[in-house]
Structures are given as structure tokens and as C-alpha cells.
Structure 1
Amino acid sequence: MKTAKFQLEELTCPSCIKKIEKTLNRQQGVKEVKVLFHSSKVKVCYDERAVTLKELSTTIEELGFSILATKIVNE
């Protein structure tokens, strides 16, 4: 299991949280998604054997959100 943290451009509405969480949770290999509205951060715990960091990034960008930074954390 790996954890990735994505810093997004400013989230403009609370419904963005549900949109991101719902879409990422549907992806194979994703175990947990947490979106922090006020800091515009997305934390994703995932199985790197089932989904790649690039696939997660692409999914977020396809939803219309720009990623400013990505960090892999060991937890």
C-alpha cells in the first residue's frame, strides 16, 4: 500500500469533494480517499500493484482539476 498526496489548485465548491472521492473510489486498487476542501489537498491510499500514480493523477485531471504538486508518503 502507498499513500499519495495531491495539492490541487483551489477547490471552489464543496461538491468538488464528492466528485473527486466518488470517482477515485471507483478505481481498482484505491482503498481510501480523503479530500480536504480548505487546503485543496487529496490523500489517496492505494495498492500500487493495481493502479499507478500516473493513473490517479490522470483521473483527477480529467475531472477538471489541476495538480500543483504530488507527494508519496510512507505511513
Structure 2
Amino acid sequence: MAEHRVVFDFEVDFSNGGGIQGQEFRLDIEGTDISDAELADYIVRDMRLLMVGAVRIVKKRVIEEAHKRV
């Protein structure tokens, strides 16, 4: 069975000002697709971000690649 990862750029705005962004970020996913909303929730939860305003996902693509996280 093939393993898939999503590769994407993202921007997170914080409600108290400032933000972070990532380029060519990779995450393991189950299946062959993930919605932008699910991906945004995953980023916020996995990075334990607080006071998050908007999250934008751009340049998203799914690739076949072995999962890295154990």
C-alpha cells in the first residue's frame, strides 16, 4: 500500500499580532487527499499554536513517499 504526504506552504496569523509561515512543509496523511481546513487544524494542533487567527494553505500537493513520523 502506498504512503502519502502532503507538501504545502502555509501562513498563520495570530489574533494578538504577528504570524508564522512555512514553505515546502511536509506532513504524513492517511489516504490521498486532505482538505485545507483539516490541514490547518492539523498544523495548529501539532505545533500547539495559541491565539490563531487566519490560516492560509497554498501550493498544496500530495506525493507518494514513505511516512517519516513514527
**TM, length-normalised to structure 2:** 0.38
Bigger helix share: 1
**TM, length-normalised to structure 1:** 0.36
Bigger strand share: 2
